[in-house]
Amino acid sequence: MSDTSWLTEFPQLDRQQLLAIRQTLDGAYRTFSREYGDTIESFFDPLLSFLIGFEKLLLATPWWLMIALLAALAFYASRSWKLAIGVVVAFVFIGLFGMWDDTMRTMSIIIASTLLAVLIGVPVGIWMARSDRVQRWVTPLLDVMQTMPAFVYLIPVVMLLGIGKIPGLIAVVIYAIPPVIRLTNLGIRLVDKEVLEAAEAYGASRWQRLTGVQLPLAMPTIMAGINQTIMMALAMVVIASMIGVKGLGQPVLKSITNQYFTLGLLNGLAIVALAIMFDRISQSYARRAQQHLSGSRHD
């Protein structure tokens, strides 16, 4: 009988070769982290100071004032008393069950990571919309960022920066930024070419067409991307707690390791309340922006 093992066995490097490759790559990264880790860490010092200051501000704000501000924000975005009352009820229960401080810490990291993702993601999305070549290069990178297991992000970040707020923020941003980039690119590309041609005919510069035509028309789509970014950032709360990010994720992680069902359930519900609040506010704002834009067109 003929040997048919070649039909099922894939040729591969032997164990010694694989071990040598892994050791070389690991050694190179360790050397890089030792030589440049302090420099990179000092680069993020202003961001760390902002995170600490913002967290202290949220914790120092009286609970009644914070609830009033969140309810006012919900009503401004949605013009819905039901949503505003729902925000009040949710945060009152969060406070009654002793989760206020952890909720404020989680809000600080979510808001900071979302702002950073928007500041980076919207310009990258605009760049992609203006260049097919850039889109071809960036799209595979976004695919990797969205499909790579979140735990894998933590390995190089922790090796380089240790544990704490900044590594957690970086991991959250990497995981959450693809939607805002993709939908910014999509929103700008979907802007009617005839509208752009009309703006160009009136003598609008490239910058004026971007800020006065493309971004306003693409805003509902961009807001949908920001909404998804917030949801993905909240999904990273528990994973980020593994590298020292304080907030609602740490009690959930503790409940998993110690089998505290009630502790995990309550903190999980607090994360759900935050997710619903951010989701409803961002969606309502996007919907109002779309209605305002449609009304302006008809006028």
- 45-298 folds as MetI-like fold (1.10.3720)
Domain ranges of the chain: 12-43, 45-298
CB 152, CB 170: distance < 8 Å: no
* Separation of alpha carbons 235 and 111, rounded Å: 14
DSSP secondary structure, 105-138, as one string? HHHHHHHHHHHHHHHHHHHHHHHHHH-HHHHHHH
pLDDT tens for the 299 residues of the chain, in order = 555 555 566 666 677 778 888 888 888 888 888 888 788 888 888 888 898 999 999 999 999 999 999 999 988 888 888 889 999 999 999 999 999 999 999 999 999 999 999 999 999 999 999 989 999 999 999 998 888 887 777 778 887 887 888 888 888 898 899 999 999 999 999 988 888 888 888 888 888 888 888 888 888 889 889 989 998 988 887 788 888 788 888 888 888 878 788 888 899 899 988 988 888 888 887 777 666 665 555 55
- Residue 36: what pLDDT? 80
Helix (H) or strand (E) holding 93: helix 81-96
Taken in order 278, 280, 283, 287, is the CA torsion positive or negative? negative
Nearest to 251 by CA among 275, 267, 236, 235: 267
